[in-house]
Amino acid sequence: MSLKCYFALVLFSSFASFAFGQQPAASPSSGQAVRALPRFDAYSIFFSRELGNAFGGSLGISIFDNQTFYVVGLSPELELERWGVGLDINLRISQQGQLRQEDWRDGISSYLRLLRYVRYGFKRDSLYFRLGQLDAARLGHGSIMFLYRNNASYDARRLGIEFDADFGHFGFESVVSDVSTFYVVGVRPFWRPLHAFGSGLEFGATVVSDFNENANIQLSHGADTTNRLAQSGIIGRERALIALGVDAGVPIVRLPMFDADLHFDVAGIVGYGAGIAAGISGSLKNLFGIAVVSAKLEQRLLTDRFQFAYFDALYEQGRYRQSDTAIAARSDDLRHSARGDLGIYGELGGSILGKFHLFGSYQRLYRSTRGALLQISARFEELIPALVFRADYFKRDFSLEKLFTLDEQTFAQVEFGYLPYPYLSLSVVYQWTFLPVRGENNTILRYEPLLRLEPRVSLRLQF
């Protein structure tokens, strides 16, 4: 049995035995033993939960790389108790009256990706399941996988799975990037040995593997790839890239309004390097009755050929890139460019009055000019009456000089909206995203940065 099949078997057997054989542990508010990973972590506070039944529709103009399309969009969301379903249907019609070909060239996958999500519960709940687009997948404290996106592009969307269960004494978190390929598969089982005594002391172990054939390759730098691929740029290829980690966390404060935790992580990538992180996190659950705030601070130590949060928001775009004259790969960059260092990492998430939401994270290495990571996400929903603002920005190898430079190491999305009526929105969406460049047999060779601009009129009805 291959390693990929073994991962799949473990994941789905776990779903069957845990989801139907036992009852999940109660949440902290039920009065039972407190979970070690608080529900109020920084990103969970920021994250907009899909709640309620609604029907959304939009009309607009979408500009992809100087090509104009008329857009008709439908985005219904249905909720039944803890279950939820969301669709994302966008018909982009050219000025010649033709549907945009890139939206429908993946066969059955083009239709399956209209499903935005099917979910049960939410991340950090005692039982959580999601099938569809993964916008912010994370395992444990995030040393290996943090805010991973399985959709590298609108034109290459995938159906992934997140499945977590917490039974008090033990539980697990798991991720599958794509149910059709099982390329990126991750699982983190955890154990709380003192749960019966009311302690949230927790030990976890994480394994994440990428079974894509280009996930772990060694390149001959400067090679010309105009000839056959196997004879030119690639001089070594492993069957999979595997990252392993162990972690421990312990609550040090549990009060009605304030939580604090200590954690310690050791992570490594097989055949590459390793890193150690020690940190503290805390949450203010009801600040002056108007705000919820959570923060985390870590000290990080890493060897050569290692990166924390290797599986991040831009992993799918950077895994492998082949042009007419060169090949680049994330694993080869890790092998030759990542240097040992000491650094600091912090994150902050907050919500004020349920109308202003903010999340930010930043990693800075002390000696290296590379390795800095920055993510900022913000939402203003009628904090100023009738105005809406949403933004997401992620930058790898960040520096102040590159703050406003949009390149292959950047993901950016901004929306400005005005609500003349509660159910009607006039907005403009600006997105720096990626377009897949395909070769023979529809194989994706690389992703090229793409500017997308979309004025739209949206109607959203709650029922």
The CA-atom distances, in angstroms, between 205 and each of 9, 126, 142, 179, 296 are 18, 18, 12, 23, 20
Phi and psi based region of residue 147 (left: phi greater than 0; alpha: psi -120 to 50; beta: remaining): left
CA 19/CA 8 separation, integer angstroms: 16
Residue 17 phi, psi dihedral angles, 5° rounding: -75, -40
Structure tokens at 283: 């949450």
Residue 142 phi, psi dihedral angles, 5° rounding: 90, 15
In DSSP terms, which residues pair with 108 in a beta bridge?
none
Which single residue is written with the structure tokens 């000491």?
Answer: 342
Q: Within a 10 A sphere around the Cβ of 185, how many other Cβ atoms? A: 25
pTM to 2 decimals? 0.85
Judged by DSSP in three states, 111 sits in helix
C-alpha angle 12/13/18, rounded to 5°? Answer: 100
CA 263/CA 290 separation, integer angstroms: 28
Looking at residue 294, what is its pLDDT?
Answer: 93
Looking at residue 115, what is its pLDDT?
Answer: 86
Looking at residue 107, what is its pLDDT?
Answer: 66
276-290 core/surface letters (b: 16 or more CB in 10 A; e: else) = bbebebbbbbeeeee
Looking at residue 242, what is its pLDDT?
Answer: 97
In 3D space, the residue among 217, 218, 220, 219 whose CA is nearest the CA of residue 240 turns out to be: 217
CA 394/CA 384 separation, integer angstroms: 26
Residue 6 phi, psi dihedral angles, 5° rounding: -65, -45
Q: Within a 10 A sphere around the Cβ of 411, how many other Cβ atoms? A: 23
Q: From the first residue on, what is the mean pLDDT of each consecutive set of 10 residues in the chain (463 residues)?
A: 51 46 42 42 71 80 80 88 89 85 70 85 93 93 95 81 96 95 96 93 98 88 45 70 97 91 97 96 87 94 95 92 84 85 95 90 88 91 86 88 81 93 90 84 83 86 76
Looking at residue 12, what is its pLDDT?
Answer: 45
The CA-atom distances, in angstroms, between 305 and each of 75, 139, 423 are 43, 21, 51
Looking at residue 312, what is its pLDDT?
Answer: 94
Looking at residue 229, what is its pLDDT?
Answer: 42
Residue 392 phi, psi dihedral angles, 5° rounding: -135, 135
CA 138/CA 361 separation, integer angstroms: 14
Which single residue is written with the structure tokens 């404290």?
Answer: 141
CA 202/CA 107 separation, integer angstroms: 44
